[in-house]
Amino acid sequence: MKILSVDDSAIIRKIIRNGVELLDYEFIEAGDGQEALAILEESYNDIGLILLDWNMPGMDGLDFLQKIKENSVMQYVPVMMVTTESEKENIIKAIQAGAINYMVKPFTIEELTKKIVECIGEGM
């Protein structure tokens, strides 16, 4: 099963990779929303979870989320936000837009792995 990390920072994606691979999932990545959409179009069936940054240039995380939720097949891929954004109202916005979980940066790998297992384990 693949886990897709969408974040404009290669360093953050590398850190997330460590957590994903610790759980023995296959890691794939995208530096922005457009790239992520292209990946999803091809492999939406194999992707078990999207870890999505909020503040990205161009299409931000919320726009991306709304876009995939409008897509007939992509909408079923679960999404967890991974972001510095911590304000409650924004967390609510993200959940209402369809994110199933939320993790704030900075995070430990331990927390990341727990959250991934929470998302996938619940079979959402």
Catalog residues that contact another protein under the rule CB under 8 A. 9-12, 14-15, 18-19, 21-24, 55, 57, 83-88, 104-111, 113-114, 117-118, 121
Residue 112: CB atoms within 10 Å: 21
Cβ closest to another protein, residue 72 vs residue 108: 108
Q: Toward another protein, which CB reaches closer, 69 or 120?
A: 120
For every residue of 15-29, DSSP letters joined together read: HHHHHHHHTTPEEEE
> Whose CA is closest to 57, among 76, 77, 35?
35
Q: Which is nearer to another protein, 26 or 70 (CB)?
A: 26
